[in-house]
Amino acid sequence: MEKHMPDEKTLRALMGQEKYAAFAAAAAMIEDSYEMETLWGPGGKAGPYELKYRRGGKTLCALYPRENSFGFMMIFGRAEREKFEAMREEFSAETQRVYNEAHTYRDGKWVMFESPAGEHLAEMKRLLAIKRRPNRK
């Protein structure tokens, strides 16, 4: 077990049952769609833990379990921002708002979604496809 990897009981206590279920669904969606290395680490300002999905030295996204919620972080580079802008009307007003309010740094636009579930999780899957095509099944 990795040094910072919490067990399921710890995550359930931290997030609560409903948010833990949404977190588990988000993790399952990513793991079903992509072959990625998973890295647990400290979450820093975003929460006590970070679950990062990487491949070939590039991060696809990260999940941040925290008290009564979790964050779903994606970093959009220039080409990815252009793709999103070209199809922004296909996303919900909430997804557009979060994207618009995210800060753009030198290395990309850091977009943090709060506890996506249901239809918002389906949008996260579409956003991930902008960054990297899912595996063929």
- For the beta carbon of residue 23, count every other beta carbon within 10 angstroms: 26
pLDDT digits (tens, 9 = 90+) for 12-69: 999 999 999 999 999 999 999 999 999 999 999 898 999 999 998 899 999 999 999 9
- CB distance 75 to 90 below 8 Å: no
Domain residue spans of the chain: 8-131
Q: What is the pLDDT of residue 118?
A: 84
How far is 40 from 106, CA to CA, in rounded Å?
A: 25
DSSP letter assigned to residue 133: P
Q: Minimal CA–CA distance to 22: which of 56, 59, 68? A: 68
Phi, psi of 19, rounded to the nearest 5 degrees? -70, -35
pLDDT digits 0-9 by tens, 75-121: 999 999 999 999 999 999 999 999 999 999 998 999 999 988 888 99
* DSSP 8-state assignment for residue 115: S
The pTM score is 0.93
